């Protein structure tokens, strides 16, 4: 079992920034990728960004490319999401997730999930 605990999130005006963090514990040796998904009311959960275990490889959804940056903390099983130039359409619950394999954008391939943290962007 892998446990994921998120922090960060909150309310920000359009154009502002927020930083999310997620720490993993438990059977972390099984993790090959960590990422972020988001889910807005009435919508399906969608991929945002993911990183390989050591952070050397990353990939993003087109909707956030150039505005969001995913990073890993050296020596720790953590993943961060720096969100800049936020837009009202970024409003959602953001979930941290961990996967045993790197490269997928599908929620079905991520085995462990955090509890979610709310991000609200006002116009």
- Mean pLDDT calculated for residue range 4-19: 97
Taking Cα atoms as reference points, which of 71, 8, 4 lies closest to residue 31?
Answer: 4
Return phi, psi of residue 114, to 5°. Answer: -80, 180
Residue with tokens 């087109």: 62
pLDDT digits (tens, 9 = 90+) for 22-43: 999 999 888 999 999 999 999 9
pLDDT at 61 over 90: yes
What six digits make up the tokens of 123? 């116009």
pLDDT classification of 9: cutoffs 50, 70, 90: very high
Query: Cα(14)–Cα(104) distance, rounded to whole angstroms?
Result: 30
pLDDT at 101 over 80: yes
Write the DSSP string, 87-114: -GGG-EEEEEEEESSSS---GGG--EE-
Instruction: Give the bridge partners for 51, in sequence order.
Output: 34, 58
Q: What confidence score (pLDDT) does residue 55 get?
A: 75
């Amino acid at each position: 079992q892998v446990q994921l605990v998120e922090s960060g999130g909150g309310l920000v005006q359009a154009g502002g920034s927020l930083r999310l963090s997620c720490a993993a514990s438990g059977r972390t040796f099984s993790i090959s990728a960590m990422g972020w998904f988001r889910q807005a009311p009435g919508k399906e959960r969608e991929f945002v960004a993911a990183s390989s275990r050591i952070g050397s490889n990353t990939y993003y959804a087109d909707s956030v490319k150039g505005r969001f940056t995913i990073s890993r903390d050296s020596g720790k099983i953590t993943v961060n999401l720096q969100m800049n130039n936020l837009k009202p359409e970024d409003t959602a619950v953001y979930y941290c997730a961990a996967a045993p394999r790197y490269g997928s954008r599908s929620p079905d391939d991520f085995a462990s999930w955090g509890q979610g943290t709310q991000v609200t962007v006002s116009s």
